[in-house]
Amino acid sequence: MGEKKDLTAIGLEILDSARSELYLNLPYLDAALCALSFESGEGKTLFTATDGEHLYYDGNYLAERFLRSRTLVNRIYLHSILHCMLRHLGKKRGKDPELWDLSCDIAVESILDGLDYPCLSQRARPARETLYGRLRRQMPVLTAEGIYRAFLREKVPPYERARLQREFFADDHVLWDPQEQKEQNQRQDSKWQSVSERTQTGLETVLAGQATGGEAVYEQIKVSNREDVDYRSFLRRFAVPREIMAVDDDAFDYGFYAYGLRVYGNMPLVEPPETREEKRIEDFVIAVDTSMSTSGELVREFLRCTYAILRSTQTFSRKVNIRLIQCDDQVRSDTVLHDLGELEELMDHFQLSGGSATDFRPVFAHVEQLLAQGAFTRLRGLIYFTDGMGIYPKKRPPYETAFVMMEDPAIRVEVPPWAIRLTLTEPELDRAVRQALPEDAGERDMEELAELPIL
């Protein structure tokens, strides 16, 4: 019993020492490093584990790691802190638990491997670098969400999962309970979001322009702190008012209607109006960057989602004037759509064209020519799906323009001040699709949408 108490005390000293060393080397993590209290892990874990409030530890485990290398303990401690800062714990709900845990570990270890500090360095592991390189070809920033979706697409076999789990294991996720009370989850999420935002501010100000090695932390925190985007609501900003055949409940007084029926029998005093004014999108331009730097898979995801939203009668008119333009360094195709049925037919035979460098100017010159020819009646906006790296026009067009990118593709890309920059993630696109589908739509509708044969 005495030996166990000594090991518990030693484990506490080891963690205190690790926190002090990390604070001296990474001062921008001051708030995060102090956000977890240390507790004995007896009965909870044989390693280290966190529930977002405490860091539970086993003295034997920490002592063994410390004897091997002090760096190992520093990495284990910061590993758990980063899980909390990126709010991995609360995002586990509804996911494959084993695959989500693995994705989170890989995301966090990629940050640690990218931090150039002696207190965190370890010998190079070629297997890790190979995996990072393969994943970065699919996503610029190795977020847990992006890695999780990549593994789902690849259908990683069990033996490969087991190998990766051994390679990236650092702490126990047994206390990550997505079934906790909603209020408790929200409180914890708010706490760590505040810590993350403070850390992001420190990295943007104190460390600006310095080669500190903190870029790996900054990239993931910036993505994690970005507010969720409602793509469907965003599209509505390009709508214009028009009358539709529908009852206007806001302008109709049901009191007089009911009074007439009650007093005079089947004789209402007023009739409901047969039309109402709504904002609908009619004239619209969708431009797709088909250069070599744009992933074909991301283009497909974007088009599938946009197609689902276009089918929503609450957002778009049945009769539309949509131009779907493909462009790399020149306009490769311009497809005119006047009916949503035509759009569905196009999706069945759609093929990407291009593969050269990126120049955004030809699309805007082409649309300017179309406006001069009277091709549009009330063009409100153009959405350009791209990775953001290309030559932008200097002059602001007479309509709103949004450059839509996936997964924060390049944090240093700056769009013109007159344009809107919108960064989407695949979960945000999926949510927009579900909102656009009818209420009685089920998984079959989603599956059909996902299987659209975009070539």
User: How do residues 414-442 score in pLDDT, each as one tens digit?
Assistant: 788 898 888 776 666 666 666 655 544 44
Indicate if the pLDDT at residue 449 is higher than 60. Answer: no
Indicate if the pLDDT at residue 231 is higher than 60. Answer: yes
Residues 298, 377 within the same domain: yes
* Average pLDDT value for residue range 76-92: 92
Confidence tier at 83 by pLDDT (50, 70, 90): very high
For the CA atoms of 197, 185, 224, 174, what is the dihedral angle to 10 degrees?
120
Q: Return the pLDDT at 211.
A: 47
Task: Pick the range with the lowest mean pLDDT from 90-99, 106-115, 160-169, 358-367.
Answer: 90-99
Indicate if the pLDDT at residue 33 is higher than 90. Answer: yes
User: How do residues 297-312 score in pLDDT, each as one tens digit?
Assistant: 667 667 777 777 766 6
Residues 153, 14 within the same domain: yes
Residues 235, 217 within the same domain: no
Indicate if the pLDDT at residue 314 is higher than 80. Answer: no
- The set of residues, in sequence order, having a beta carbon less than 8 Å from that of 453 and lying 6+ positions away, is 348, 349
CB 65 within 8 A of CB 72: yes
Indicate if the pLDDT at residue 287 is higher than 70. Answer: yes
Confidence tier at 197 by pLDDT (50, 70, 90): confident
User: How do residues 350-397 score in pLDDT, each as one tens digit?
Assistant: 777 777 788 999 999 999 999 999 998 888 889 998 878 888 998 999
Task: Pick the range with the lowest mean pLDDT from 25-29, 202-206, 293-297, 357-361.
Answer: 293-297
Q: With pLDDT > 70 as the criterion, what percentage of the chain qualifies?
A: 71
Residues 34, 147 within the same domain: yes
Label each residue of the chain as H, E or C. CHHHHHHHHHHHHHHHHHHHHHHHHCHHHHHHHCCCEEEECCCCCCCEEECCCEEEECHHHHHHHHHHCHHHHHHHHHHHHHHHHCCCCHHHCCCCHHHHHHHHHHHHHHHHHHCCCCCCCCCCCHHHHHHHHHHHCCCCCCCHHHHHHHHHHHCCCHHHHHHHHHHHCCCECCCCCCCCCHHHHHHHHHHHHHHHHHHHHHHHHCCCCCCCCCHHHHHHHHHHHCCCCCHHHHHHCCCEEEEEECCCCCCCCHHHHHHHHHHHCCCCCCCCCCEEEEEEEEEEEEEEECCCCCCHHHHHHHHHHHHHHHCCCCCEEEEEEEEEEEECCCEEEEEEEEEHHHHHHHHHCCCCCCCCCCECHHHHHHHHHHHHCCCCCCCCEEEEECCCCCECCCCCCCCEEEEEEECCCCCCCCCCCCCEEEEECHHHHHHHHHHHCCCCCCHHHHHHHHCCCCC
| Cα-to-chain-centroid distance, residue 287 | 21
User: What is d(CA 380, CA 399) in angstroms, rounded to the nearest whole number?
Assistant: 5
Residues 237, 195 within the same domain: no
Domain residues for the domain of 163 are 2-225
Domain count, the chain: 2
Q: Return the pLDDT at 452.
A: 43
More confident residue, 332 or 239: 332
Could you report how far apart the first and last alpha carbons of the chain are, in Å? 67
- Residue 263, in any domain of the structure: no
For the CA atoms of 161, 71, 19, 147, what is the dihedral angle to 10 degrees?
-20
* Average pLDDT value for residue range 407-412: 52
Identity of the amino acid at 353 = S
Residues 212, 303 within the same domain: no
Q: Return the pLDDT at 82.
A: 95
Residues 216, 346 within the same domain: no
Residues 237, 143 within the same domain: no
- Residue 424, in any domain of the structure: yes
More confident residue, 357 or 41: 41
More confident residue, 306 or 39: 39
- Residue 46, in any domain of the structure: yes
User: What is d(CA 376, CA 354) in angstroms, rounded to the nearest whole number?
Assistant: 26
Mean pLDDT estimate for the chain? 79
- Residue 255, in any domain of the structure: no
Indicate if the pLDDT at residue 455 is higher than 70. Answer: no
User: How do residues 315-347 score in pLDDT, each as one tens digit?
Assistant: 555 567 889 899 888 999 998 888 767 777 776
Radius of gyration of the chain (CA): 27
Residues 23, 98 within the same domain: yes
Q: What is the CATH number of the domain that holds 427?
A: 3.40.50.410
Q: Return the pLDDT at 453.
A: 39
* Sign, Cα dihedral of 293, 298, 304, 307: negative
CB 74 within 8 A of CB 119: yes
More confident residue, 390 or 250: 390
User: What is d(CA 97, CA 80) in angstroms, rounded to the nearest whole number?
Assistant: 17
**Residue position matching structure tokens 């590993």:** 79
User: What is d(CA 299, CA 303) in angstroms, rounded to the nearest whole number?
Assistant: 6
Q: Return the pLDDT at 303.
A: 75
Residues 216, 293 within the same domain: no
Task: Pick the range with the lowest mean pLDDT from 41-55, 77-91, 229-243, 346-360.
Answer: 229-243
* Average pLDDT value for residue range 215-223: 75
* Average pLDDT value for residue range 50-65: 94
- The set of residues, in sequence order, having a beta carbon less than 8 Å from that of 272 and lying 6+ positions away, is 247, 248, 252, 257
User: What is d(CA 401, CA 422) in angstroms, rounded to the nearest whole number?
Assistant: 10
Predicted TM-score (pTM) above 0.75: no
Q: Return the pLDDT at 451.
A: 45
User: What is d(CA 49, CA 172) in angstroms, rounded to the nearest whole number?
Assistant: 5
More confident residue, 304 or 443: 304
Indicate if the pLDDT at residue 249 is higher than 80. Answer: no
- Residue 396, in any domain of the structure: yes
User: What is d(CA 120, CA 114) in angstroms, rounded to the nearest whole number?
Assistant: 10
| Cα-to-chain-centroid distance, residue 294 | 17
User: How do residues 128-177 score in pLDDT, each as one tens digit?
Assistant: 999 999 998 877 788 898 899 889 888 899 999 999 999 999 999 999 97
Identity of the amino acid at 149 = R
- Residue 264, in any domain of the structure: no
User: What is d(CA 227, CA 190) in angstroms, rounded to the nearest whole number?
Assistant: 13
Residues 15, 68 within the same domain: yes
CB 79 within 8 A of CB 65: no
- Of 191, 225, 259, the residue that ends a domain is 225
More confident residue, 187 or 18: 18
Residues 368, 437 within the same domain: yes
